[in-house]
Chain A
Amino acid sequence: MKRILVAEDNKLILETIALSLTREGYEIIKATDGKECLKILESTEVDLLITDLYMPCINGHAVISTIRDERGLKIPILVLSAAGAEENVVKAFDLGADDFMVKPFSLVELNVRVRKLLALRR
């Protein structure tokens, strides 16, 4: 079973994504801020990271930067954020994100993108 880490500070959205992906057959680990996300990544191996950009403690950009530059992890990263301005998207991709979805988002589309990213990793 593929393991997906979801980092999102909005609990309702976190739970909704988790529920949606669980129904698709994934194992979901939840983090409510960037710090918790990085801590989980230290001890747990995951197949995909879905992260928000604006989170408490450490923001999404810093999370991506730490994963790619400091830890050298190659897990696929999908950014899910309401901050869909061009500069945010470009920065996320520059730092090492693999995909970007702007809120409001469709759960169906999210599932498809997750499937695609996991397939690419394989």
Chain B
Amino acid sequence: MTSIKFTPVKLIIRLAILICINILLFSACSYGSQQYAVQVAAAKTPLDIPQFSKRHFVSDSIVEIKTHDWYKYVVGNFETLSSASKYARELVQQTGIINVFPVKLEEVSGKFSEAQKTDLNTKQIELSNISETTDSAQVETKKIEPKAETDLSAQKSVRKPSNKSNYLFVRILGDKNVSELKNDLIIFGNKHFPLFFRKFYIRVIEKTYTYPIILLFIFLIIIFIINVLLVLLILYYSNQVKNHKDRYISIYTNLYEKVLQSYLFDEIDWKKTFDKLKKIKKPLNREILTSVLFNFQENLRGDMDNRIPEIFVKLELHKDARKKAKSSFYYDQVQGIRELTNLYPKGAFAVVRYFINAPNDLVRSEAQSSYVRLYPDKPFDFFRTLTSPFTRWTQLSTFHFFRLHQLPVPSFVEYLDSKNPNVRNFCLRMIIFFQQVENATEIFEFLNNPLETTRFLSIRAINDLRLYDGKELIKNIYPKETEKNKLEIIKALKNIGNSDDFDFLETIIRSGFVTLKTEACRSLYFMNAEGRERLILLIQDTEMEIGKYLDHITDPRN
């Protein structure tokens, strides 16, 4: 028995570690960086930026940031407060706006202190006069380039604050596009990311725009290399752990096999055996021991039938198996049921009964197969309480087990009254397979069952068991049947029909579909000599082209 466990928890933990390390790396790189801008205006309603720029000769790009009820207008992007203050003073001289002051970008985008709010309130009074036209559209951020030809003189004297250091970015995309991209990224973050992540995200964006692009690339390459190294490290570690575990399992499997062999061949007594079974208190070692015993039990019988379960109980491994069966993980439950059934049948009865209707397919299937094994006298008695599906796979497994161990065949008619359609259909199949002819009357009742498959199996049973009494019944239901069942009825007539059915088959040949017509011809041809004569008579009717059908059905390849 091999114990294979899927451990998604370990995988998730490793991925989580990787993600955490990445977040920490990003945080570490962006931590402590502050961005400053110069606020030139704030208002409760949006301003007409081009008009404002033109009026005050502001040559730089003005960015509108909406926070709470305020529309704030800032220019520039500075790493230090002093450079922002310097630029604010220059702006006062150039534009004549008095209430110009440096702000932290982070605060502008959401963290204004109460004092600053009050300050802004006073400033917006002046600005509200300027704002004659307001845009009612809820645009989060706008950036409008002022007309350069009107402000050439102003531009020359004002220091360009935007992405100077990031010249490669600017050269490739253009100053305007770069700023727009940055604003778009920030807006995207504000709209889509949760609050706790937004701050970090904006900081990363700002940082990205502050450093030269080459540094950014280097940073990304370093992050990539660190990631690759981490993945390799995790792979190496996982591989080491796996190899170590495999070696450990191999060593102890060999040890336990030899010790148990010696015990089973009466070379050593139990006391010595117990002493030689090292580390049996460790869960992994107990699993190895169970696996060794399971292997013995699966392959050997005779004297070993009793001795191996005896060892299992002596080592109290049945308690572990019970624990597994009680586990909330389905694979442990399956393993527990299997171990108990094979190595401790006494303790398996209650567990197996409990899981007969388990919602998990695998657990239920294991319990049902175990039931067949545990109750060889009445292997299918669980049908009486089975309300859950009896899957095709379990049907096959139980049937295989049943056949392999040559168990006595029960009368499946006993279970035909089950309300479970899977059980009924399985019983019908078994009745056909084991040729349980004595169940004829019960089979006829299923000809009116609402389920197509059940009716199909009943017709097949009538055919295979040669239940002549059912012939008229299947002929009666023919008009209402599905094509599949109609075909089965025609096939049945080949075996249980006689000259009384010629007219019935001829009607099908004259009016049926090609498949039904072919099958009807076949039934007529192979039923008896009279049938063949009747078919030859029909050949004379050239319109029906019976000759072609006859060629087809008499061809040995068909």
- Which A residues lie at the B interface, using CB under 8 A? 10-13, 15-16, 19-20, 23, 82, 84, 102-109
Contact = CB atoms under 8 A, between A and B. Distances in A.
Nearest to A102: B404
A10 B296 CA distance: 10
A105 B299 contact: yes
Contacts of B261: 15-16, 19
B257 to A, nearest CB: 5
B303 A16 contact: no
Contacts of A109: 302
A112 to B, nearest CB: 11
B478 to A, nearest CB: 37
A105 B300 contact: yes
A103 B299 contact: yes
Interface in B299-324: 299-304
Interface string B400-417: 000010000000000000
B298 A104 contact: yes
A30 to B, nearest CB: 14
A106 B302 contact: yes
B302 A108 contact: yes
A19 B261 CA distance: 8
- Interface size class on chain B is 10 to 19
B304 to A, nearest CB: 7
A34 B118 CA distance: 90
A12 B265 contact: no
A19 B304 CA distance: 15
Contacts of B258: 15
A51 to B, nearest CB: 15
B343 to A, nearest CB: 13
Nearest to B254: A11
A12 B296 contact: yes
Contact of B300 (A11, A15, A102, A107): A107
A10 B299 contact: yes
Given A15-B258, A16-B296, 11 more contacts: A12-B257, A19-B265, A23-B265, A103-B298, A104-B297, A106-B302, A106-B304, A107-B300, A107-B303, A108-B302, A109-B302
B295 interface: yes
Nearest to A20: B265
Contacts of B257: 11-12, 15
